[in-house]
Structure 1
Amino acid sequence: MRSTSRRAVLDAALALVAGGGPEAVTISALTARSGVSNGSVYHHFGSRAGLFAVLYGESFAHCMAALTPALEVEGAEGAVRAVVARYLEWVVGNPGRARFLYAAPHSADPAVKLGAFEPVARWFAARMAAGELRAVPLWALDPVVMGPAHECARRYLAHGFDLESSTRLVADAVWAAVAPVG
């Protein structure tokens, strides 16, 4: 029962975020939507911030798991383009989690996020060392590599723009940012 009620609270939080943003996630709204007691929410997460930390870590790991297989694509350019495409597909397929990642307070343990991002960082570091990609500091990978994808995803989530038809254009922009110089 413990994992069932924990999952119910996490699912309720995602649904509440999708309907009204993180502000909609209150303990009373969680209990009403999930069917668990106040005590159960506090037992599993300690607080609303604790719930957000777990949900952020889980959602970020879910996203990374979806795009990491793109790193297996042959060649640096193909893999970079595939990462962009997989990310945008993930946003379209998981709008609640994507909205949460963009809107939630960054309350996740940085070690959790770094752990999920580690395979991507390792892949990029190896390609940069081999001269297959432009050298970018690892701390800047997300804004440099995924910046255009993030901005398009935000606009899709806020306004419903056609994200899927923009994938190639976004992948072109990302490749141009990381293609080796010279």
Structure 2
Amino acid sequence: MSPKQQRGEATVELLLDAALRVYAASGEQGLTVSAVTKASGVSLGSLYHHFGSLDGLFVALAQRWLTRLLGELATALQGARTARSGIRALVRAYFAFIQEHRDAALLLHSSRADQYGMTQGKELRDSQEARLSAFALWVQPRIESGELAPLPLPLIESLVLGPVVGVARRWLSGIDDVDLAEAARILPERIWRSLSP
């Protein structure tokens, strides 16, 4: 990699790190070009050069953290011997991620991220295909062996992640009626019941 490419990558990292800090401190309304350039020390021109717009920066930031979340979920599934233990591992990994990376989790579960997911869903899914394939590769043999109900993959994905995302959103919103440890104990068994043959 040339020195120019290295500087470009370093600039991208500075901007992404600063954008998350600004988002964490000021929320979605505070995430402005001015705030990010000030927090990063990077010029306005560099931000536009690398991301095209504030929306481009937001999408890149969301993609960065979504990639990381999906990677952690895939890692959790790799160590699971059974479908039941895999569901438990996935739920725990998701909750551990949102606790460890609360700022990034707030961004990933934000209305802006939802809007992007709704309008650019296919594009988003295509960009994460390798990470999502890990889930499909883990599920398919368990369906074939009869360990999981023979349901379409998108439905299985929804049955597993729907309740987890719902609890995560509630916890991230600051509502004080969700105990993640309790949810991590209860949800896997309830999810498993919806997927068992």
Which is further off, 75-84 or 49-58? 49-58
Which structure exhibits the higher relative contact order, with contacts defined as CA atoms closer than 8 Å and separated by 6 or more residues?
A: 1
* Residue 87 (str. 1) matches residue 94 (str. 2): yes
Decide which of 113, 125, 129 is 2:140's aligned counterpart: 125
Q: Tell me how far apart the structure 1 counterparts of residues 157 and 65 of structure 2 sit (CA, whole Å).
A: 16
Give runs of ≥4 in structure 1 deviating > 6 Å.
none
Task: Give the CA deviation at 1:125.
Answer: 2.0
Task: Give the CA deviation at 1:70.
Answer: 2.0
Relative to structure 1, the CA distance from residue 69 to residue 32 in structure 2 (aligned partners, 3 Å threshold; closer, same or farther) is: same
Cα root mean square deviation, aligned: 1.8
Decide which of 1, 9, 12 is 2:15's aligned counterpart: 9
Amino acid of the structure 1 residue aligned with 2:88: R
Q: Gapped runs of 5+ residues in structure 2?
A: 1-6
Q: Percent identity?
A: 32
Question: Which aligned pairs between 1:1-182 and structure 2 lie closer than 5 A?
Answer: 1-71=7-77, 72-103=79-110, 104=113, 105-106=116-117, 109-159=124-174, 161-180=178-197
Relative to structure 1, the CA distance from residue 55 to residue 136 in structure 2 (aligned partners, 3 Å threshold; closer, same or farther) is: farther
Amino acid of the structure 2 residue aligned with 1:85: R
Relative to structure 1, the CA distance from residue 94 to residue 136 in structure 2 (aligned partners, 3 Å threshold; closer, same or farther) is: farther
The answer to whether the Cα contact below 8 Å between 1:53 and 1:109 also exists between their aligned partners in 2 is no
The answer to whether the Cα contact below 8 Å between 2:156 and 2:195 also exists between their aligned partners in 1 is no
Q: Tell me how far apart the structure 2 counterparts of residues 130 and 20 of structure 1 sit (CA, whole Å).
A: 49
Task: Give the CA deviation at 1:78.
Answer: 0.9
Task: Give the CA deviation at 1:172.
Answer: 1.8
Relative to structure 1, the CA distance from residue 22 to residue 140 in structure 2 (aligned partners, 3 Å threshold; closer, same or farther) is: farther
Task: Give the CA deviation at 1:112.
Answer: 1.2
